[in-house]
């Protein structure tokens, strides 16, 4: 199989427009921040990458601390977020080297410092997890709750391969405005997740549901899930494994079978994912190389695991018709099995991002929660 890798200049050329627009993974940062890094960067070596972006983040970390000491909380929030965004880039796309792991810790620290100054603050919660030997003992989550009386419905959400819980605050905020609480976790094998990706890593969700049920201010009968990209894989799975506990689940850009086959893995190397797609997917399994992913990915197939014809929670499938990251056939495979599902496919690449995409998802979630 051919393992294609882009050059530094090709990565930057592919990313320039997103950097100008300030869309993920460039949230809270400026075009000039990234231009400065890529002007000096000569290699995609993980440590060099982490060092280059961390150096650009440090001045904003210092500026945030100074503003906070002076009582300028708005400036503190903005600078903490900018530092967090740049440290996020320093650990991107995965925490698979010492420098990237250190950068992720800084990114979390900066995000939580900023989140103290949000109109609906973020609370870091620890949910007890009955892990096996070598696994973690807690599932960490970012919890937000609007000031609304009564027992609130819950958006239990998770990001994806490179999109961690600290990256999701703006995306999920509209559900706060509708009167829902939000609880965001990391998918197996990423960030703070206590388990690696495996054929039964959905055990992690048990901890989140137990925590929700323990809260008198939350309605455990109105929990909707939302997983993005690789998180969409876990959305499809937990919609089946936890079918009775979800009021509905959004699989936004996920995969389930064809994406794990060697033919697609090779094709995706030439898609829009900037670099190290297979290697980053392998890291969720505790592995490291392109070859590792090719050898082990098929074990994750939900078709081969036998889940797709079992009962599921109501599922909303969202993606782009020309996805180059995950096979578009995967969404169609889900439609051909099990309970009927709701689907909306948009023109374009991975995730099907258009002006209509997110409003469609918000409206579906609110309906499943019984909100306006």
Q: Which sequence positions are flagged as catalytic? A: 229, 323, 350
Residue 80 to residue 76: CA distance in whole angstroms? 6
Token output for 116 = 């103290």
Q: For tokens 């697609």, what's the residue? A: 264
> DSSP assignment of 292-323, as one string?
HHHHHGGGG-TTTTT-TTS----EEEEEETT-
Distance CA 186, CA 139 (A): 8
**CA–CA separation, 354 and 346 (whole Å):** 7
Q: Do 227 and 235 form a contact (C-beta atoms < 8 A)?
A: yes
The DSSP H or E segment spanning 249 is strand 248-252
Q: Please check whether residue 268 is in contact with residue 4, taking contact to mean a CB–CB distance below 8 angstroms.
A: no
Mapped onto helix, strand or coil, the DSSP state of residue 210 is: helix
Structure tokens at 172: 């999920």
Q: Are 219 and 151 in contact (CB under 8 A)?
A: yes
């Amino acid at each position: 199989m051919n393992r294609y890798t882009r050059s530094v200049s090709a990565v930057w050329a592919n990313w320039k427009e997103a950097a100008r627009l300030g869309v993920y993974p460039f949230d809270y940062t400026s075009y000039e921040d990234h231009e400065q890094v890529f002007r000096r960067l000569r290699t995609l070596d993980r440590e060099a990458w982490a060092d280059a972006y961390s150096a650009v983040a440090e001045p904003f970390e210092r500026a945030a601390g100074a503003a906070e000491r002076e009582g300028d909380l708005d400036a503190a929030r903005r600078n903490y977020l900018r530092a967090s965004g740049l440290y996020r880039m320093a650990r991107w796309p995965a925490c698979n080297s010492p420098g990237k792991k250190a950068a992720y810790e800084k990114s979390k620290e900066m995000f939580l410092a900023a989140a103290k100054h949000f109109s609906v603050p973020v609370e870091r919660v620890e949910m007890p997890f009955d892990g096996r030997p070598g696994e973690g003992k807690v599932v960490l989550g970012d919890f937000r709750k609007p000031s609304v009386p009564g027992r609130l419905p819950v958006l239990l959400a998770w990001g994806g391969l490179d999109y961690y819980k600290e990256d999701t605050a703006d995306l999920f905020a509209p559900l706060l405005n509708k009167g829902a609480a939000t609880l965001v976790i990391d998918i197996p094998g990423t960030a703070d997740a206590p388990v690696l990706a495996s054929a039964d890593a959905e055990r992690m969700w048990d901890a989140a549901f137990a925590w929700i049920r323990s809260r008198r201010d939350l309605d455990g009968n109105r929990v909707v899930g939302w997983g993005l990209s690789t998180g969409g894989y876990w959305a499809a799975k937990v919609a089946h494994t936890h079918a009775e506990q979800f009021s509905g689940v959004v699989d936004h850009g996920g995969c389930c079978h064809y994406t794990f086959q060697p033919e697609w893995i090779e094709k995706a190397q030439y898609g829009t994912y900037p670099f190290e797609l297979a290697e980053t997917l392998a890291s969720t399994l505790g592995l490291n190389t392109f070859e590792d992913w090719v050898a082990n990915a098929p074990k994750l197939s939900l078709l081969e695991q036998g889940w797709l014809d079992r009962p599921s929670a109501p599922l909303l499938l969202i993606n782009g018709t020309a996805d180059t990251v995950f096979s578009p056939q995967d969404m169609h495979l889900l439609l051909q099995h099990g309970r009927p599902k709701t689907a909306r496919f948009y023109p374009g690449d991975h995730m099907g991002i258009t002006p209509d995409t997110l409003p469609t998802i918000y409206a579906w979630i609110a309906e499943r929660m019984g909100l306006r």
